[in-house]
Structure 1
């Protein structure tokens, strides 16, 4: 009876090891996706900052034009 239970425990442990491998693989995939999303967010933030800079310059130019036209 001891041999049967030892074999069963061994089989269960092999299954647990496989499940842990699967979880690690899934975790690595999620990590890579998060890295990708983080990179995209950084790009969006830079683009937004560039747009704000352009709007600020346009606002300054518009102020100069209004002053020249005395509006």
Structure 2
């Protein structure tokens, strides 16, 4: 009877170790995947930041162009009232 109980306990412990090893491997895989996702997320965030920077630069250029056009329009309007030789 004691032998059967010892063998049963030994078998249960062995199965628990196998399951624990599988769980450790699964956790290791999940951590690896999470690290990959984190790197991908950082890359996407950098891309978005770059796009915002480019958009801001384009917006500034457009504003300068609009200011120049307004100045030109004002100069053209002013020249109508100035005497021409």
TM-score, structure 2 as length reference = 0.82
Measure how far apart 1:69 and its partner are: 0.5
CA deviations on 1:31-55 (whole Å, 9 max, x unpaired) are 0000000000000000000000000
Measure how far apart 1:61 and its partner are: 0.1
| Secondary structure at the counterpart of residue 34 of structure 1 | helix
Spell out structure 1 runs of 4+ moving beyond 2 A: none
Identify unmatched segments of 5+ residues in structure 2: 74-85
Measure how far apart 1:13 and its partner are: 0.2
What is residue 8 of structure 2 aligned with on the other side?
A: 8
Distance 1:57 1:17 in 2: 60
Compare CA radii of gyration and give the structure with the larger one.
Answer: 2
Q: CA RMSD of the aligned region, Å?
A: 1.0
For residues 1-71 of structure 1, what are the structure 2 equivalents within 5 Å? 1-70=1-70
